[in-house]
Amino acid sequence: MKLVRKDIEKDNAGQVTLVPEEPEDMWHTYNLVQVGDSLRASTIRKVQTESSTGSVGSNRVRTTLTLCVEAIDFDSQACQLRVKGTNIQENEYVKMGAYHTIELEPNRQFTLAKKQWDSVVLERIEQACDPAWSADVAAVVMQEGLAHICLVTPSMTLTRAKVEVNIPRRKGNCSQHDRALERFYEQVVQGIQRHIHFDVVKCVLVASPGFVREQFCDYMFQQAVKTDNKVLLENRSKFLQVHASSGHKYSLKEALCDPTVASRLSDTKAAGEVKALDDFYKMLQHEPDRAFYGLKQVEKANEAMAIDTLLISDELFRHQDVATRSRYVRLVDSVKENAGTVRIFSSLHVSGEQLSQLTGIAAILRFPVPELSDQEDDSSSEED
């Protein structure tokens, strides 16, 4: 993401002009734009024209509109973002108050204005514009007959390909099984070559139960030698084999928890999120008085200045109710003021999906607060 201009007043009102440069930036933009904001961007509008003879035709023109945002739609797989709203500035093609949908695109700048820029949104802009936050991890989570090829970016886990091949059981003559397995491996190799850009990716995790990962890697590099595939051979050192219980996407969390992987990926946000969630579960199991989840419980722990690490899903900051969203922002700011660590999880990461199952908010405490854990957790009654 490129920051073109930033004009924010002392009362935190103002606007920023940004240029999304990567598909990942569209996810950041989705988390920046909120209902009620003002968005100015270039768009295509279908315009009706009438000729001197009275015939009516239509053509598409590119124009710049400023909308008051009413609805936001994000396609995580295609990384496409559509914003719907009403026109609030004079335009020769679009009447004031008319509805229009703008599709934000990479490499096309937009200006976003807010009445209140909060700390969470401003921090996301800083992260999005920092080139160090890049998509540098890929993963192949597999079992016999099933594989998911994923990209692990700082903000989401993207499934780029799913490979499924029916593998017959070994019965007497194993030739059918072996042929099907070879066909499966070949499709996974093709998926890796198609979806993983080795000039960006620093590490490729190959995770599986049993010996599937070893057998697959042996096959892949034997074929690479036979076909003189320089891309795979030159990047062989980037492949890291780790254990996972299955070939399903959720098993990626296990692979990211592996100590070998954690040390290799210690500088990535994804690894930090996974470790924080793992630490929370361990604390919940061994010292439940120091592990709380649910908004009310976590707020009470914060009042006691007990929070060491706050785990919170970015999904909560997209709440359409301003008061509710502000409540989460105040909690984040308060934890930071009390020298606590805040980890904002992406709802598109496997770790973020798991945190969402725990209401989307949890905390690891500095010291036990037994009087809170004894209270009934009524967080389920909170608005989502």
Name the H helices within the chain. 23-32, 119-128, 175-195, 212-226, 230-234, 252-257, 259-264, 269-286, 295-303, 322-337, 350-357, 370-373
pLDDT at 10: 85
> How far is 166 from 147, CA to CA, in rounded Å?
12
Q: What is the dihedral of CA 331, 332, 336, 341, to 10 degrees?
A: 120
Q: How far apart are CA 20 and CA 29, in angstroms?
A: 8
- Predicted local confidence at residue 384, as pLDDT: 46
Two structure tokens written together for 108? 């096309």
Domain ranges of the chain: 2-129, 136-267, 270-373
The dihedral built from the CA positions of residue 100, 106, 112 and 117, taken in this order, carries a sign that is positive
Point out the residues of the chain with pLDDT beneath 70.
50-52, 54, 130-135, 154-155, 172-173, 263-270, 371-384
Quote the pLDDT of residue 321.
83
Length of the chain counted residue by residue: 384
What's residue 106's pLDDT?
87
* Per-residue pLDDT at 40: 97
Show the tokens assigned to 384: 């989502």
Provide the 10 A C-beta neighbour count for residue 319.
Answer: 17
pLDDT value of position 45: 85
Place of tokens 């009413």: 70
Cβ 350 vs Cβ 264: under 8 Å: no
Quickly tell me which residue has 């029916």 as its tokens.
166
Task: Write down the pLDDT at residue 347.
Answer: 86
What is the gyration radius of the CA atoms in the chain, in angstroms?
25
Hey, what are 329's tokens? 């922002």
